[in-house]
Amino acid sequence: MSSLRQNVLKQGLPPLPAQSSQPPSANRFSVGRKRDYSVLPWTNYFEEVKDVKSGGNTFRVYLKGNTGTRIVFLHGGGFSGLSWAVLSKCLTNLIECQCIAPDLRGHGSSVTEDDSNLSSEQLANDVCDIIEEMNEDCSPVVLVGHSMGGAIAVHTAMQNRLRSLAALIVIDVVEGTAMASLHTMHQILRNRPQDFESDEKAIEWCVRSGYIRNLESARVSMIGQLKRTLPTPGRLTWRTNLNASAQYWEGWFKGLSTNFLSVSAPKLLMLAAVDRLDRELTIGQMQGKFQMQVLPKSGHAVHEDCPQKVADAISSFLIRHKIVNSTTSSVQ
């Protein structure tokens, strides 16, 4: 197995073809499968959607729950706020909380004055803007971020503007592993389909490639990563040009371990594999500076692959630190 393929599999990203360097076809899967790859509406999971305006920017924000601690979810690069749909539904069944899941700049249905600026500084400022618009009473805020969003959650936690941080939860991103994999990212992006003929074909590829392993989650979240192509409106392509964001990749992850450990609020790191810990985090974990949870049967999109297990872990962590109240006696 090539080192590139090993690295991709280790990251939990869609596997590259074993024998060919050609991108996998979006239409190679046979028709007539019994599995349902149709789109599930976001209204099955979220209660409301808001367009939050900040200056000349408009951020699409999905909401679930209306009482309790505000939990702000930050999706990974190329994903959208819909990535948190199933988890939000699971979590609000366990604890009193308000789930807030924005589409970050250049993603989903958000529209900004410069969608191409995905620097860590800009994204962290955007998150602070959204929180300030939606949290006028300065209630406690929990930041939860996946992959790129995990890095941005840490950058946001370091901002002096965010004074009500109650906890920080980072999902499947570690500085050492992320920095080591940056040189393979262009190859990974080239080896995914560039467009799809329908929503159903996109969701089918998503699940069968292992990009998102949970069919239910893929059916509600995959569409948030896509946009209709022009001038042929029948096909779909990727909403976010991740190749164009390459100039910002190092800035997302450099210094992440040190910054994560320096945050004074309670911290939880959730990983798909324990071997992703770098040396600094290994030492920090041994010193009890943060709690760690490993979910080895998931891929990189841990929260989508195992939403109930992630909800159980988050709720237990937040209850233990007296940040939220339980809505069920089964949570310890």
Q: Angle at CA 239, nearest 5°, toward 20 and 120?
A: 100
Cα four-point dihedral sign 60, 64, 69, 75: negative
Q: Which of 83, 147, 257, 315 is catalytic?
A: 147
Q: Is the N-terminal amide bond of 231 cis, ω within 30° of 0?
A: yes
Q: Is 297 exposed, middle or buried (0-12, 13-18, 19+ CB in 10 A)?
A: exposed
Reply yes or no on whether 195 is catalytic.
no
299 and 36 Cβ atoms separated by less than 8 Å: no
The DSSP output letter for 107 is: S
Query: What H or E segment, with its residue span, contains residue 193?
Result: none
Q: Which of 300, 303, 312, 316 is catalytic?
A: 300
d(CA 253, CA 246): 12
Reply yes or no on whether 147 is catalytic.
yes
The DSSP output letter for 264 is: -
Q: For residue 16, what are its two tokens?
A: 């590259």
Count of CB atoms within 10 A of residue 228's CB?
A: 11
d(CA 5, CA 126): 35
Question: How many whole angstroms from its chain centre is CA 39?
Answer: 19
Q: Taking Cα atoms as reference points, which of 180, 175, 218, 172 lies closest to residue 199?
A: 218
Reply yes or no on whether 303 is catalytic.
no
d(CA 107, CA 269): 24
74 and 143 Cβ atoms separated by less than 8 Å: yes
Q: For residue 176, what are its two tokens?
A: 């050492």
Give the number of C-alpha atoms closer than 13 A to the C-alpha of residue 51, restricted to the C-beta side.
9
d(CA 272, CA 102): 24
Q: Which of 172, 181, 217, 245 is catalytic?
A: 172
Positions marked active-site: 147, 172, 300
